[in-house]
Amino acid sequence: MRSSVPSLRLPCSAAATQVSVFDTDDKPHEQCGVFGIIGDPDAAQMCYLGLHALQHRGQEGAGIVSSDGSALHSVTGLGLVSEVFSDASKLAPLVGSAAIGHNRYSTSGAASALANVQPFVAGYRFGQLAVAHNGNLVNYRSLRHELESKGSIFSTTSDTEVILHLIATSAARPLIARIVEACESLSGAFSLVFLTADKLIAVRDPHGFRPLVMGRRPNGAVVFASETSALDLISAEYVREVNPGEVIAVDVNDMLIATSYLLTRKPRKSCVFEHIYFSSPNSIIFGHPVHASRYNFGAALARESPAPGADIVIPVPDSGLFAALGFAGASGVPFKQGLIRSHYVGRSFIAPNQEERDLAVKLKLAPVEGILAGKSVVVIDDSIVRGTTSSKIVRLIKNEGKAREVHMRIACPPIVGSCYYGVDTPRAEELISNRLGVNELRQEIGCDSLGFLSLESMKGAFGEGRHMLCDACFTRKYPVTAPEPLAAEVGDEAED
């Protein structure tokens, strides 16, 4: 083994077949949230809180790596942040004033899941390096093949491991130059935080697919996070986005911030689905408040696709809430909470027959008959992916809630493309809008009318920023073509 090959602390059992897993909520799933902090005596504690605020970006694993100035310390585990760090003793080993953390959304089996929980830590000839990654590399296979042909030995099938090998085998000096050189080789989506003994480094891909923001705590600590909601929880002030293609390094000794850019420049293409569904409504994503985007989507939907004679507007909770408020505000139709979501139900079981499958939805959503009975109801949902849940919701409102009419309105355009950039979506043939037109879909769902927000109106909500959004899952116009088969199609896991 060449001395430059990193030794990863990852078991060899990490290889796993990626299976597209969907809850009965029938939503695409974000793959991960990242967090980093430096210059704080309670770095690990702040990281823990930050990961709490990013829990919606991944619920199957969490981890924190800290630096005490000379060595890295790591704790990772399966489950929610509150389960992995279930008491103070779990945070106790994570000493030091710098830390990075990661929430993982897993699509692989439990046996391999722990090995893939980030941050990953590598030991190589210049010391230790940890990384946490949100996104997906579309050229992972060719990079790995090239590295393996030069002698690199991989411990996992994670695309994030490729990044560590590229850094370790780079001849550039110093570390920042190695990271820049490695990231120049990457294609696809990457919002990264790295930690060494004395530095915290944040990098965002040139398209800026996934979000990454910078903040500062009152004590001067510098913070990076996938969303501003993580800054809010630890009283950090939002400073700005990490710009697409930007590399920001902070040294623990003098807290100086050094900024540079990758040489590769690309048009900005930030994921519009962060505003439709993924991000927390109290976050500012790509410079826009998420709750305001969703409200505007709903208002535009009311203008484009009104429901004359409707008595009430209700959201599919929780993700349809702000769009329903927007629809109600623009249409004058009263907003009501006609469905109550249970927050105490985990992943629903897959039931064998129709009646039991409906029960799985009823476990999550309860109709309020006193609000719905006899009414013409507009139901606002954020999106339809495979269409497996919408018909159950309509039956629930009609049969259990005793509504007279159900008019479904969707606060985004029909989804017709899979995502290559860090979002777990089904294959194109599984997307119901690839198979059915709007009227056929209305019949399939069983609602009285169905309307989608147009692409123009959705993007119009961002003003001048509308040209800087990735909308490939609605248009199939991919900013980065995938030169290699999607990992899911060939049975490999291209990890987040």
Q: Residue 293: helix, strand or coil by DSSP?
A: helix
Residue 226 burial by Cβ neighbours in a 10 Å radius (0-12, 13-18, 19+) = buried
Q: Is 424 marked as a binding-site residue?
A: no
Report the interface residues with ligand SF4, using CB under 6 A: 209, 271-273, 419, 421, 423, 470-473
What is the rounded radius of gyration, in angstroms, for the C-alpha atoms of the chain?
Answer: 23
CB of 2 to ligand SF4, least distance (A): 36
Among residues 262, 274, 184, the alpha carbon closest in space to that of 465 is found at 274
32 in active site: yes
**Cα distance between residue 32 and residue 23, in whole Å:** 17
**Cα distance between residue 68 and residue 95, in whole Å:** 6
CB of 428 to ligand SF4, least distance (A): 11
Which residues pair with residue 137 across a beta bridge? 188
Closer of 223 and 423 to ligand SF4 (Cβ): 423
120: CB partners within 8 A, 6+ apart: 8, 9, 10, 130, 131, 132, 158, 160, 161, 164
Closer of 125 and 477 to ligand SF4 (Cβ): 477
154: CB partners within 8 A, 6+ apart: 144, 147, 148, 161, 165
Q: Is 12 marked as a binding-site residue?
A: no
Phi, psi of 379 (to 5 degrees): -110, 125
Closer of 450 and 473 to ligand SF4 (Cβ): 473
CB of 392 to ligand SF4, least distance (A): 24
Q: Is 87 marked as a binding-site residue?
A: no
CB of 137 to ligand SF4, least distance (A): 13
For residue 84, the surrounding DSSP H or E stretch is helix 81-84
Q: Is 319 marked as a binding-site residue?
A: yes
Closer of 72 and 272 to ligand SF4 (Cβ): 272
Q: Is 68 marked as a binding-site residue?
A: no
CB of 270 to ligand SF4, least distance (A): 8
Q: Which of 32, 47, 183, 412 is catalytic?
A: 32
**Cα distance between residue 179 and residue 124, in whole Å:** 14
Closer of 241 and 471 to ligand SF4 (Cβ): 471
From the annotation, which residues make up the binding site? 271, 319, 381-382, 419, 470, 473
Residue numbers annotated as active site = 32
From the annotation, which residues make up the binding site for [4Fe-4S] cluster? 271, 419, 470, 473
From the annotation, which residues make up the binding site for Mg(2+)? 319, 381-382
